[in-house]
Amino acid sequence: MTGWRTIYETGQLGRKDNLCTGCWENFGSVTAFDAHRIGKHEYTFWEGAGMSPPRYDGRRCRDIEEMREFGFQQTGEGRWSLSPWVGKKYQTGARAAKRSTRQAQRAARKRNRA
């Protein structure tokens, strides 16, 4: 697993990084980063816990189990993502269409030669 805190402290974060300095997890998109933060914005989880009476609905990060239950997956680089394509090989529709066109052209050339 990547030491994201070390990468942050040494100034090596890249453009694809969406690092949370609350839990030191990195996310593949701003959408994924926003989805991992839950609770009310008015106070943090710990501020709410210290209120009288205590309130446990303050802003906090999801833990690893909560993120997995929500649908997060880790990429090969160690970033958390909500994409259903993480870890799967897939082909875009444009590539598939181009391939079928090439195959049809080759088949037509073979028919014309015969």
* pLDDT tens track for 51-67: 888 887 888 899 999 99
pLDDT at position 46 is: 79
Residue 65 lies in a domain: yes
Q: Looking at per-residue confidence, does 36 or 56 come out higher?
A: 36
10 contacts 17 by C-beta, under 8 angstroms: no
7 contacts 14 by C-beta, under 8 angstroms: no
Residue 90 lies in a domain: no
Residue 60 lies in a domain: yes
- Count of structural domains, the chain: 1
The span from the CA of 55 to the CA of 88, in Å, is: 41
Domain that holds residue 32: 4-83
Query: Alpha helix (H) ranges present in the chain?
Result: 4-9, 30-36, 45-49, 64-70, 93-113
Residue 56 lies in a domain: yes
Residue 101 lies in a domain: no
Residue 71 lies in a domain: yes
Residue 53 lies in a domain: yes
What does the angle CA 72 – CA 95 – CA 99 come to, to the nearest 5 degrees?
A: 140
